Amino acid sequence: MFDVIVVGAGPAGLVSAYKLLEEGYDVLILEREIRPNYNKLCAGYIPLEVFEKYNIPKGVADYAVYGVRFVADRKEWVVDFDAETGYNVDRNRFADFLATRVLKEGGIIENNSFVREVELKNSHAIVRVRDREYTSRIVILADGVTSRIAASIRGRFKANDLGITIQTRINPTSNFLKDNNRLNVILFGRQYSPFGYGWIFPKQRHLDVGLGTLISKAKGEKLEDYLTNILDHFNLEKSEPRYFPVPLSGPLNKVAYNRMLLAGDSAGHVSPLTGEGIKYSMYAGELAAETIIEYLKNRISIKDIRKYYLKRLKKSFYKKLRAEKIILSILASKRLSTSRMLEDEKARRIIAKIYTDMSNEHIFFSLVKSYILTHI
């Protein structure tokens, strides 16, 4: 029997596994792909604070980011912070780093292992994978937004709580790299997304180009046309895109049941405004591990796990996600235009901090109070 089984070898799962292994517990990670985060498309921006908090070497980073170029209504603005705000990373390479650290600590990762069922017993859980089964005292579900088992705990995401993104990888042009040195590009407006935004994130050897919107806003829309508009704006070549869902629900309360805890995308731990979830997945993975350690050391009961975990989440990043959800709902109601906000220099800098993940709760509440309430 394992102390903990982690379902999913993304950032949430691997961070939680590493912390548990450091405490001396036996951990098994089950990943349905042939390797962690195999071929997963993602803009992949990680703020500097995460690199420092989790001792991630700068060598893992692909591209240093110093600011943002905004495009909206045929106008452009650049907000440059004159210092590194974070890094764009290749998700496969980043996952390999996290996985290697787990393996060196004594963890076991079994790839190509799709979990079809978790059965709860009085003293343990049985995790079934095709023709095999494993037992553990606790299970962490960190297997993404499409997790069927996680959905049975948190409920299904509604159309207004789930985003859809389309993204492609292309070769950069010399003109693009020259004009956007050290910048991520964010595009607002109806020509770039039905509702949401478009993006271009440079990496060492390619550009990640895409857009996101709410599923409720994407009905009847051909998202490939919006992607073409983004590419055409910068005279970039076209390439075959891929789609993937993103939870934009904001903070959820149903994040644990009995011997199962949810972390990362499976628990909706994603920014409702930007759709970025690596940072919050890592934070949630760490908090899930800390909660489990309290249980395994007999400091809390199995009945207290959900309450303890949720309390830690609320103290960590839930207020920030809740503030983002409020802003998103105001934007969705068309009482406020992001393009109009960009005309204001102060608001523009605040938005740049949001999209470089330099903001905190105070910045969000200041935005709501000093700008939104005076412009709607």
Average pLDDT rounded to a whole number, residues 157-173: 93
Q: Which long-range contacts (CB under 8 A, 24 or more apart) does 334-340 make?
A: 335/376, 336/372, 336/375, 336/376, 338/72, 338/188, 338/197, 339/72, 339/73, 339/188, 339/189, 340/375
**CATH fold for the domain made of 62-86+159-247:** D-Amino Acid Oxidase; Chain A, domain 2 (3.30.9)
Cite the residue boundaries of each domain of the chain with CATH code 3.50.50.60.
2-44+90-157+250-322
pLDDT at residue 290 is higher than 70 = yes
CA neighbours closer than 13 Å in the CB half-sphere of residue 162? 16
Task: Output b/e per residue, 252-285; b: 16+ Cβ within 10 A.
Answer: beebbbbbbbbbbbbbbbbbbbbbbbbbbbbbbb
Q: Which long-range contacts (CB under 8 A, 24 or more apart) does 23-26 make?
A: 23/293, 25/293, 25/296, 26/2
Cite the residue boundaries of each domain of the chain with CATH code 3.30.9.10.
62-86+159-247
Amino acid identity of 311? Answer: K
Q: What are phi and psi of 171, to 5 degrees?
A: -80, 140
Write down the CATH superfamily of domain 2-44+90-157+250-322: FAD/NAD(P)-binding domain (3.50.50.60)
Provide the pLDDT confidence category of residue 262 given band limits of 50, 70 and 90. Answer: very high
Average pLDDT rounded to a whole number, residues 79-99: 93
List pLDDT tens digits, range 341-368: 899 898 899 899 999 998 665 665 666 5
Average pLDDT rounded to a whole number, residues 98-106: 97
List pLDDT tens digits, range 21-70: 999 999 999 999 988 877 777 779 999 999 999 999 988 999 999 999 99
CA–CA dist 270, 251 (Å, integer):
9
CA–CA dist 200, 302 (Å, integer):
45
∠ CA 266-271-277, rounded to 5°: 55
List pLDDT tens digits, range 5-24: 999 999 999 999 999 999 99
Task: Give the tokens for residue 54.
Answer: 């989790």
Q: What pLDDT is stored for residue 360 in this prediction?
A: 61
In sequence order, what are the residues at sequence separation of 6 or more whose Cβ sits closer than 8 angstroms to the Cβ of residue 304?
295
Task: Give the tokens for residue 223.
Answer: 């998202």
pTM: 0.94
List pLDDT tens digits, range 182-223: 999 999 999 999 999 999 999 998 999 999 999 999 999 999
